[in-house]
Structure 1
Amino acid sequence: MEGPAPVLLLDLLDGITPLRLEGDPAVDVRSVESDSRRVQPGACFACIPGLHTDGHAHAPAAVASGAVALLVERPLGLGVVEARVPDVRSVLGPVAARLAGDPSLSVRCLGVTGTNGKTTTTYLLQSIAAAAGERAGLIGTTGARIGDRPVETGFTTPEAPELQALLASMRDAGVTVVAIEVSSHALAQHRVDGTRFAAACFTNLSHDHLDYHGTLDAYFEAKARLFVPERCEVAVTNLDDPHGREIARRAAASGIPVVTYARDDVAADVGVADVRYGVTGTDLLVVDRRAGEEVATTLPLVGPVNVWNALAAAATARA
C-alpha cells in the first residue's frame, strides 16, 4: 500500500503496545504489505501466520525485494528492523491507516454487516448519498467504486493495507461518503482495524459461514466487533432480528448512540407505515418516528427482504 509520503517506522508504531523493537526504528517506510510479492523498496512487511502459510516464511523474500522493516510475532534476525507484537493482524490495520493519513477520519465511512443484505444496502446507501449531492464511494462484494469508476478489490472487505489505500484514493478523489460491506471474516481477521465508521449497520444473522466460525455464537461475536466505541460512532440495527436487538443492547450499554429500524416492530426509530408490492418495484411509506417524518418512495426492487434493506439504508443515511 503506497502512503502519501514516507513515514518513520517509529511514528507508525506510536501507541502500539506491547511492542519489542530490534534495530533502529528511525527508518522511512514507504508502504505496508502483507503479501511478499507486492513488496517494493522501502516497504514494511507484515508477517501474518495463516492456516496454510506463514508470512514469517516469506520474510527473506520480502527483505530481498527491499523491505526495510518487518512486523513479526517471533524474532527472525534478517538484518532489518523488527517490530515484534503478539498479533501482527491486529496491528496491521492501524499501521496501514496511519501511513495513509487516517483516511477514514476524512471520509464518512458507513459500514454494513450481517448475513444477508449487505450488498443491496451498500448500493442503496451510495445512491442515497449521491442523490444528496455527495461524491459517494462503495466497497464490497462486487468490487469498489470511486464515484462512478469501478475498482477491483478481490475480497468483500479488502485486506487492511488495500482497504486503507482504497480509502486514501477515495479521499484524494474528493469522495465524501463511502458505503462499506464489512464481512465477518474481515472483522475476525482485523481487516477494518484502523478504520473509523461514522455509522455501522447490522442487518440480520442466520446460519451461514459456520465452516469458518464454528458456531452461531462465534459468528455473532465476530459481527459484534464492529459495534464498539473505538470503531463505531453510531450503531444502526434491525429490531426484527433477535441478534439485532442484542447489538442495540450492547451498543447502548457501551455509550454508542443507537438508531433502530424494523419492518414489523413498531418500536423501531425507522419503519414503514405502508408497503405495496408490485411486479417491478415496491412502494413504501417510510416513517422516521424520531423526527415525526414520513417519506413516500418507490424502490426498484421487489420482495419483503428488500424492505428491510431499504430501511437499513434509510436509517444509516440519517444516523
Structure 2
Amino acid sequence: MLLSELLNLTLPTASNPQIKGLALDSRKVLSGDLFFACQGTQIHGERYIDAALKKGAIAVLKEAPTTHFEMLAGKIPCFAQPTLSQQVGNIAARFYGYPSHHQRVIGVTGTNGKTSVTYAIAHLLHTENKPCGLLGTLGYGIYGQLQPASHTTPDAIQLQALLAQFSTQQVDNVVMEVSSHALAQDRVQGIQFETAVLTNLSRDHLDYHHTMTQYGDAKRRLFTWPHLKTAIINQEDTFGQRLIKTLPETVTPLTYSLSDKTADVYAQIQAYHTHGCSLKIQSRWGEGYTDSPWFGEFNVSNLLAALAVLLNMGLPLSQLLSQVNSLPTVPGRMERLGQPEQPTVLIDYAHTPDALEKVLLTLRQHLKATGKGFNEKGDKNHTVSPLLWCVFGCGGDRDRGKRRLMGEVAQHHADRIIITDDNPRHEASQTIIDDILEGCPAPTAVIPEREHAIRHALQHASVNDIVLIAGKGHEDYQEIGDQRFPFSDRALALQITKEIRSSG
C-alpha cells in the first residue's frame, strides 16, 4: 500500500513509498516498514528512529506538538503529527483492510473475570467448521491453538494484524479481553465491536489511572464505541448499574444476575458439590438446568455473562446448557490440584482485594457445606475442623494502596496465612511485605521466597484443608528486577504434592 493511501494524503512520488508493513518497536522493524515514533509513558519513540532506519524502515510517522514534514537522511519521509498514538489503530486497520468489519467481535472488560468469560465464550462458540478467535491473558489465536500473550490486549498494530490473520483462517467470531490500559492508550481504535461485556469494577491499576473515576471512565469508553450494538452488563455491579443509564440509544442493554430475577439472564445455585455446582438458569430465551464444573458464585456470574452473549447471538439455550458441564478449567483460575489423601490445592490469579475476597468466601462456603475440601477421599474420621490456607503476595511497581486491603481480606477470611513474594519487579520484597502486614499484622508466617512459602503450606496442611495459592495463576515466570525467571505455581504445587505422596 502506498504511503499516500495509508495516510489519505496527496504526496509527491519521491515521498510516497510502497509500505510493506507497520512497526511500533524499532527492534521488530523489517525492510519496507513504516515506523511509528509515538510518545510512550516514559520514553518517546523518536529516540529509536535511527535504529528503525538501520533495520530498513522506509518512512516514519512521529508524534509531535504540530503537524509538519521533514526529509530524513537517505531521503526517508517523516511526517510529524499530534495525537499520533490515538491514530495508530485506525491507520493499522486501514493497512490490513479493516478486518473487524467482516467479523463479529466481542469485547470483554472489567476488573476481574475477563479471562474466564472470554474463555467460556470461545469454548462454547468454537467448532471445527466455525473456529473462534481468542485474544487475552492466556494467549492469542484460534481457541485451542493459542500463542503466548505479552499483554492482555495487544498493541494496536499487532491487534489488527491478528484480526487480519483470523480473516485468512476463515474466523468470523472473535472474543477478546479489553483492558483499561488498552482503552486509555487507544490500542483498540479501528476495531468494530458488535458486543461489549462488563464483568465488574473494583480497585486495581490505580498506579496508572490514579483514581477510580478515571479507571471507570476508561472502561466506559468501550460502551460508547461507534457501531456497538449490544452491551452485556453485570446488574449486581454498582458501576454497571450506572453504566446502563448512560448507554447510547443505539446500544441495546442486556443484564445478568445471581440475585435479581428480572435480569435478562438469571441463575439460581441449587447445590454445591465436589465437582462444581448445580444451576437453574432463567432467561428471556427460556429456562433450564445445568451443572457447572466451575467453583464459586463469581464464576457462575462469569458463566452468565458468556451465556448472555451467546444467547443474544442466536445460540439455543438447550444447546448451551448441555455444553456447560464440559467447560474446561481455565488455566490458573480456581484450578484445582491435589492427590488422594492430600489437602486440596487451588491455583488462582486473584490479585485484587475484591478477587481475593470472592475466592476465599467461595472456599469458606464450600468448607461449611461439606466439612472438608474438594477431595472425595478426605479423612472422614478427621476430628479437627478443616482449615483454609492462603498463600499470597502483591506485585511490585503497582498500586501500593491495595496491598493493605488484600492483607485485611486474608486476615478476615483465611485460617492460615503465608505472606510471600509475587512479582517484586523493581521494589524491595520487604517493602511490599510491610505494606501487606499493615492489613494483616498476624500471619501464620512470612516467607519471601515463593517456592518455600508454597512448600511450607502444603507440608503443614491437613488432608481436609484447602490451600489457596493466589496472585499469579497461569503465569510461568516471576519478575524480579528486569528479569523473568521460570516459575509456575501450578508446576511447583504438583511437584511438591508428588514428593509428599511418594515420601508418605
State the TM-score, normalized to the length of structure 2: 0.58
Query: 1:3 aligns to what?
Result: none
2:307 corresponds, among 282, 298, 314, to 314
Secondary structure at the counterpart of residue 281 of structure 2: strand
Q: What is the aligned length?
A: 306
AA aligned to 2:195 is A
2-side partners of 1:231 and 1:155: how far apart?
26
Distance 1:46-1:106 versus aligned 2 partners, 3 A rule: same
2-side partners of 1:229 and 1:152: how far apart?
28
Is the contact between residue 114 and residue 202 of structure 1 (CA under 8 Å) also seen in structure 2? yes
2-side partners of 1:229 and 1:54: how far apart?
28
AA aligned to 1:239 is Q
Is the contact between residue 31 and residue 43 of structure 1 (CA under 8 Å) also seen in structure 2? yes
Query: 2:44 aligns to what?
Result: 54
Residues 226-258 of structure 1: per-residue CA shift (max 9 Å, x gap): 11141632111111101112222222x342111
1:33 corresponds, among 17, 23, 35, to 23
Is the contact between residue 23 and residue 82 of structure 1 (CA under 8 Å) also seen in structure 2? no
Does residue 271 (structure 1) correspond to residue 266 (structure 2)? The answer is: yes
AA aligned to 1:313 is A
Is the contact between residue 23 and residue 81 of structure 1 (CA under 8 Å) also seen in structure 2? no
Distance 1:212-1:275 versus aligned 2 partners, 3 A rule: farther
Distance 1:216-1:150 versus aligned 2 partners, 3 A rule: same
Is the contact between residue 111 and residue 180 of structure 1 (CA under 8 Å) also seen in structure 2? yes
Is the contact between residue 279 and residue 289 of structure 2 (CA under 8 Å) also seen in structure 1? yes
Give the percent of matched residue pairs that are identical in Structure 1 and Structure 2: 38
> How far did 1:302 drift?
0.8
Does residue 65 (structure 1) correspond to residue 82 (structure 2)? The answer is: no
2:250 corresponds, among 235, 251, 255, to 255
Secondary structure at the counterpart of residue 204 of structure 1: coil
Tell which deviates more after alignment, 118-127 or 229-238: 229-238
Residues 258-309 of structure 1: per-residue CA shift (max 9 Å, x gap): 11111112232111245432221122222222x3x01322211011101110
2-side partners of 1:125 and 1:259: how far apart?
16
Question: Which consecutive residues of structure 2, in runs of 5 or more, have no partner in the other structure?
Answer: 313-504
Query: 1:134 aligns to what?
Result: 130
Distance 1:20-1:159 versus aligned 2 partners, 3 A rule: farther
Secondary structure at the counterpart of residue 225 of structure 1: helix
2-side partners of 1:147 and 1:202: how far apart?
22
Is the contact between residue 238 and residue 262 of structure 1 (CA under 8 Å) also seen in structure 2? yes
> How far did 1:140 drift?
0.6
> How far did 1:20 drift?
11
Where does 1:2-151 land on structure 2 (aligned, <5 Å)?
7-14=1-8, 26-74=16-64, 77-78=71-72, 79-130=75-126, 134-151=130-147
Does residue 299 (structure 1) correspond to residue 289 (structure 2)? The answer is: no
1-side partners of 2:166 and 2:250: how far apart?
30
Is the contact between residue 129 and residue 317 of structure 1 (CA under 8 Å) also seen in structure 2? yes
Query: 1:4 aligns to what?
Result: none
Does residue 159 (structure 1) correspond to residue 159 (structure 2)? The answer is: no
1-side partners of 2:310 and 2:14: how far apart?
46
Distance 1:134-1:92 versus aligned 2 partners, 3 A rule: same
State the TM-score, normalized to the length of structure 1: 0.89
Is the contact between residue 22 and residue 83 of structure 1 (CA under 8 Å) also seen in structure 2? no
Secondary structure at the counterpart of residue 296 of structure 2: coil
> How far did 1:83 drift?
3.2
1:209 corresponds, among 199, 205, 228, to 205
Query: 2:191 aligns to what?
Result: 195
Question: Which consecutive residues of structure 1, in runs of 5 or more, have no partner in the other structure?
Answer: 1-6
Distance 1:26-1:115 versus aligned 2 partners, 3 A rule: same
Instruction: Quote the RMSD (CA, aligned, Å).
Output: 2.2
AA aligned to 1:125 is I
2-side partners of 1:265 and 1:309: how far apart?
15
Secondary structure at the counterpart of residue 42 of structure 2: coil
1-side partners of 2:57 and 2:13: how far apart?
14
Higher relative CO (CA 8 A, sep ≥ 6), structure 1 or 2? 1
Secondary structure at the counterpart of residue 161 of structure 1: helix
Runs of 4+ in 1 over 4 A off after TM superposition: 19-25
> How far did 1:21 drift?
7.9
